[in-house]
Structure 1
């Protein structure tokens, strides 16, 4: 599909408006992974057919799962796809057996099979769920959904809106292209699409001046980094990756690596007849993703200061005196200068690695190593300095817990589960190893993960 500059990075699929019901769960007790059809390309761009997708319950995104902090929910995955699959509950602190990583925490669910996930919801916030088997293909086909855990006392807002940002590579017939293993994608920035859009739930017809909105951004793209901004509103960034900030922060452009999330609370400042706009920035140009008309003025008037969200029960770091340091060095990819690396216990040349479909390494190791990056005692504090010796960014995701960045001045950044490490950049994360089990640590540019960027750690 040839998409010109006006169509690229544009378009919204309208979803049904559904009220927020405190304590309610809006998804069924089963999640069926199956093929479906959605009208992905809006009529304004031409008479394109429906797009064939793989989705939970056949839709994209899959069913919104919504529950209260402290609840325990169950979802039975039933696989109707022609490939094995699984579900990873991204950002949730779940028991290891519920993490959804085939070959590490469970067997992949075969066609016709099922698996029951039991999930304690310890933390309020914005999370998502997605396939973790052949995920470069399955997530690109649409196998993901959003999970919202409401605070016991949610903030006072007029609308709570989920904004799912996705990136599709489509053919002339508006179908997902089948080139999932393209080596150029794997060795460069990943699978970049030609149609980026935003799913909004609910899809509002209009908003009013002085209304307060909570926007929950989720980047579900396979590989694309997205930078977005809002106009016609004023407010604060209140959470990152589901975890509340200790103090709300000003923001202008929000940058999301794949899998990163952010919550903002904003007041509508645009006047009647104007619009609230969501734009994405690509190569020094802004593209409109969505706009909401402003119709009238909210009777309550301005709300005043935006307070912090209630904190979650996860300890923050205060001291690294007794921390253990385990470095992680990234190498490989195009223009990376990688000459050799280990893969499945063998030392291979770059060409031999490429022949194996592996071109990225962590500490000289491509693919999931037999031995963990580290073994930590429960409660131990771990520091991981990350050095990106490649010419591409990498969104590093740690399963099982959240970490904090160790900033250059010694302070600690917010709790997160994914961090974007830019080319030739060094960053350091630290965390308390408080969740026992074997946990994956990988690049969430899923093409990079498939081509070698994954390791694991053990907490005992």
Structure 2
């Protein structure tokens, strides 16, 4: 795997980025989040409706469509399946996509769950009770909206804490906001409006840590189209989970990580710097690195005399993949082979069908005359295969980034029966979201 250097120009940055929805590195946490986790039992209501955020320095309100309250995340604790009741208070149909949840197919948008009807449509979703960091994304059908729709992070807590003293969610989003405070909707021409990046919907979001403290960071790329790279300068970061799946823990090289839209990474930040240290967190979007936050080591009493040792490796999902008997499918990210999300028709035949528990190898090509793009697989997590089919990357993914002209091969075990979407979209702001689907029977 290639690692990002923040001194490289745009072209080499994208080369390092493509094909690695994650690069060994990580991000740090924001303010301490002390709100208690919701215990399963009663469904959590999430209303999708009009709200306003104050993102501009002049204090002008930015209208948005948002799920739930002002927080960017919902937490669940316990082992019972979490339940969510969605209500659509907008004038457009809304489909909720769940990043990281491999089942059940009954909640798969458009194929298993019809869109929520405008002005009052509701649906109750019982979600699998597996720990992880997930993303609820209401932007699947965004088209004629007059304001951007915002995702919401879903955290299902488990027993494994890795010795962390606290747990932080960091949702990174991009915006294009005019002088009138109105945010533009992705998928349309943005003109020359520059991008604004926020963490948990705040323009400034420094992270304060105590000496020798360990913080679990749940990093989520909620950007509309943009693949981002983060660099935590002089910070010790250990990745423990990628795209909602446990990973063989590793130290992020040079404190860097690359995240495609919708991707999630859990990592541990160990505060090893002297008190008073202020370390930059840089974000690179393919044009230039910009500081978006800092890790500040406070003068507060340390929780322990020395930093914790590296965490024990978690138990990742089974890594065996039967490549010898795999079903092999070629897939191109060409525009003509994918339908715009608003025009998606479930009655059309799937790209492929496969029996349950068979290995599928997808050879995915982004045409040379296309722009950089991302691919997101619903229903199953996959491994990125090495060039000679002699191994795979040591983590599971559900999203992958591609350079123009790049071909990658992924493999997954079709363990979850049902009809499942596949998404692709360019990394430019005005790129449309396009869909196709496959079936596991």
Change (3 A) 1:445 1:408: same
- 2:245 corresponds to: 243
- 2:387 corresponds to: 408
| 1:330 pairs with 2:309 | no
Runs of 4+ in 1 over 3 A off after TM superposition: 14-18, 20-28, 135-140, 190-193, 282-285, 341-344, 366-369, 444-453
Segments of structure 1 that go 5 or more residues without pairing to the other structure are 1-13, 333-340, 345-352, 359-365
| 1:59 pairs with 2:37 | no
Q: Equivalent of 1:281, from 272, 280, 284?
A: 284
Change (3 A) 1:246 1:225: same
Change (3 A) 1:55 1:25: farther
How far apart in 1 are the matches of 2:94 and 2:115?
5
Secondary structure, aligned partner of 2:106: helix
> Residues 361-414 of structure 1: CA distance to partner in whole angstroms, max 9, x if unpaired?
xxxxx9878111111111111000111114422221111121111112521221
- 1:398 corresponds to: 377
Cα offset, 1:15, TM superposition? 8.8
Higher RCO (CA-CA < 8 Å; seq separation 6+): 2
Q: Equivalent of 2:404, from 423, 432, 439?
A: 423
Change (3 A) 1:275 1:25: farther
- 1:125 corresponds to: 132
Which range moves more in the overlay, 22-31 or 323-332? 22-31
Aligned pairs for 1:214-229 within 5 A = 214-229=216-231
- 1:50 corresponds to: 61
What is the number of equivalent residue pairs in this alignment?
A: 406
How far apart in 2 are the matches of 1:438 and 1:448?
29
- 2:95 corresponds to: 86
Aligned pairs for 1:8-407 within 5 A = 18-19=33-34, 21=36, 24=39, 29-41=44-56, 45=57, 47-57=58-68, 59=70, 61=72, 64-68=73-77, 70-99=79-108, 101-102=109-110, 104-110=111-117, 111-122=119-130, 124-135=131-142, 141-177=148-184, 180-182=186-188, 194-199=195-200, 206-252=208-254, 253-283=256-286, 285-296=288-299, 298-308=302-312, 310-311=314-315, 314-332=317-335, 341=336, 370-390=348-368, 391-407=370-386
How far apart in 2 are the matches of 1:229 and 1:214?
17
- 1:438 corresponds to: 419
Contact 1:155 1:309 in 2 (8 A): no
Please give the TM-score of this superposition, normalised by the length of structure 1.
0.78
How far apart in 2 are the matches of 1:239 and 1:138?
34
Secondary structure, aligned partner of 1:97: helix
Contact 1:54 1:138 in 2 (8 A): no
Secondary structure, aligned partner of 1:416: coil
How far apart in 2 are the matches of 1:331 and 1:285?
28
Cα offset, 1:284, TM superposition? 6.1
Cα offset, 1:288, TM superposition? 1.3
Contact 2:84 2:124 in 1 (8 A): yes
Structure with the higher fraction of residues in strand conformation: 1
Contact 2:334 2:367 in 1 (8 A): yes
Segments of structure 2 that go 5 or more residues without pairing to the other structure are 1-28
What is the RMSD of the two structures over their aligned residues, measured on CA atoms?
A: 3.5
Cα offset, 1:60, TM superposition? 6.1
Change (3 A) 1:68 1:173: same
How far apart in 2 are the matches of 1:88 and 1:191?
30
How far apart in 1 are the matches of 2:361 and 2:146?
30
Contact 2:375 2:399 in 1 (8 A): yes
Cα offset, 1:181, TM superposition? 4.9
> Residues 247-297 of structure 1: CA distance to partner in whole angstroms, max 9, x if unpaired?
424333211111111122121122122213321124563211112432225
Contact 1:222 1:447 in 2 (8 A): no
How far apart in 2 are the matches of 1:277 and 1:16?
16
